[in-house]
Chain A
């Protein structure tokens, strides 16, 4: 029987190539054909590599000589359009030709290639990572709905079964939001675990790099390849390379999970709440200890992330603004970048003061609990063209404010946070569960997520495309 890479995991693909059930070239040809067949509808890729087959042939040649390049030998991977690549242009989600970026590999892409990965193409993103919509990409579960963002192309490509892993970046939830809305896994690692060198910056102290994948195991695998100190990113730490893949199936018995009822459970869609409560029951049955906690001051976090993200984005784009290039941004992004110029230095520093206080509050909670559990988003994927939503019976709010409410606190404090599929609502739209751990304890959140994943069949469900 011919091996079909569509919807296969990275481990399955790597094993099939290593054991000569298939070749990297055959896998790459199948993936390129699947992109041709499916992507005109989903539009998850902005660029498809013309070098992918060359890389795959090189991987096959190496294997024939007995050289296994690494954990991802021959595995097709998508890369968000803000990661620099040597063989494809980078646009950071912009349609304009006035913004130019170096043609070289970002640190994460270089590590993937060194591990044998075949970079299939660049996935679409919300322009300059400043939004949660990612036009024109569609959600594979319902093509009238958004895939989320800003790594929306990566979420859609993985959900459509085109690639097992796609890279994303996360400044306020941009990995976890599309992961949740597209029904896939996405992990924002601890600040400093993965190098951001060669990723177009959005907000230096909030930006994180990480993978989206169909399975928890594939996210662990990707992090094992991507993690590690890089002198080119002043944020990375000299921690040993992770060995996460081998630890995710361990028992979760006795693990303490904190449920913060204030803020994270204040205003969520009913079916989101119901599915998350069922997940909490799963963890209790699996032997975890669930405790309820209260974390104060979270109601000030939105102002803090706005101050830091807006000011940082304006600082990054200062030269573009000075040169009069702001008109080349889309309207929504231009408004946000220009708003960054209006953030005062005192407000920025107030946000940094708040950030320290919030970090200490999370530290207190995580000194007695191994992880925190929340929904990833208060809602499921919204209709394309909708800019305001009413999550419960409260006032309408912007989709930006509603969709990142439960994710951005963990960008402010740099903690590892994973989104894992948590069932579907009555309209068949995916729901996400978020697990947050202590700094550099990705193994804990991956283990908990894997326990939940193995106990449910969400991963076997496929969108009708």
Chain B
């Protein structure tokens, strides 16, 4: 059992910094209104929409006005 937990902890660590479950519950409770807004956004069907551009290949951006 210990080995399994240790392995699990290692995997969590590999996925980035973890917040302990108690703290996580506190954050979610404090920011419940944020959770509700995120859930609402999730209901929107946007599968055919390309996300706003957040990346430009180096050397290919001329900084033109169309970049907005």
Contact = CB atoms under 8 A, between A and B. Distances in A.
Interface of A: 190-192, 205, 229, 234, 236-239, 297, 299-300, 302-304, 306-307, 310, 318, 321-322, 335-336, 338-339, 341-343, 347, 349-357, 359, 397-398, 401, 414, 439-440
B15 to A, nearest CB: 11
Q: Is the interface of A mostly helix, strand, loop or mixed?
A: helix
Interface of B: 16-17, 19, 23-24, 26-28, 30-31, 33-34, 37-42, 44, 46, 49-52, 54, 56, 61-65, 67-68
26 contacts: A205-B54, A237-B65, A238-B62, A238-B64, A299-B40, A300-B41, A304-B41, A306-B34, A307-B41, A322-B17, A335-B31, A336-B31, A338-B19, A339-B27, A342-B28, A347-B38, A347-B42, A350-B41, A350-B42, A350-B44, A352-B51, A352-B52, A352-B54, A353-B49, A353-B50, A401-B33
A303 B65 contact: no
B64 A237 contact: yes
Contacts of A351: 41
Nearest to A413: B68
Contacts of A341: 16-17, 19
Contacts of B24: 342
A352 B44 CA distance: 12
Contacts of B44: 297, 300, 350, 354
A342 B18 CA distance: 9
B41 A303 contact: yes
A80 to B, nearest CB: 24
A69 B3 CA distance: 69
A335 B34 CA distance: 12
B46 A357 contact: yes
Given A349-B51, A354-B46, A338 B41 contact: no
A398 B33 contact: yes
A192 B68 contact: yes
Most interface-central of B16, B49, B68 (chain A CB within 10 A) = B68
Contact of B52 (A321, A338, A356): A356
A397 B32 CA distance: 12
Contacts of B27: 335, 338-339, 342
Given A306-B38, A339-B27, 9 more contacts: A229-B63, A234-B56, A236-B63, A237-B67, A303-B41, A306-B34, A307-B38, A353-B46, A357-B49
Contact of B46 (A234, A336, A350, A440): A350
A29 to B, nearest CB: 42
Nearest to A235: B67
B68 to A, nearest CB: 5
Contacts of A299: 40
Most interface-central of B26, B46, B54, B65 (chain A CB within 10 A) = B46
A439 B63 contact: no
A439 B68 contact: yes
B41 A356 contact: no
A230 to B, nearest CB: 10
A412 to B, nearest CB: 8
B52 A355 contact: yes
A455 to B, nearest CB: 32
Given A300-B44, A357-B49, A310 B62 contact: no
A349 B16 CA distance: 19
A154 B21 CA distance: 39
A263 to B, nearest CB: 14
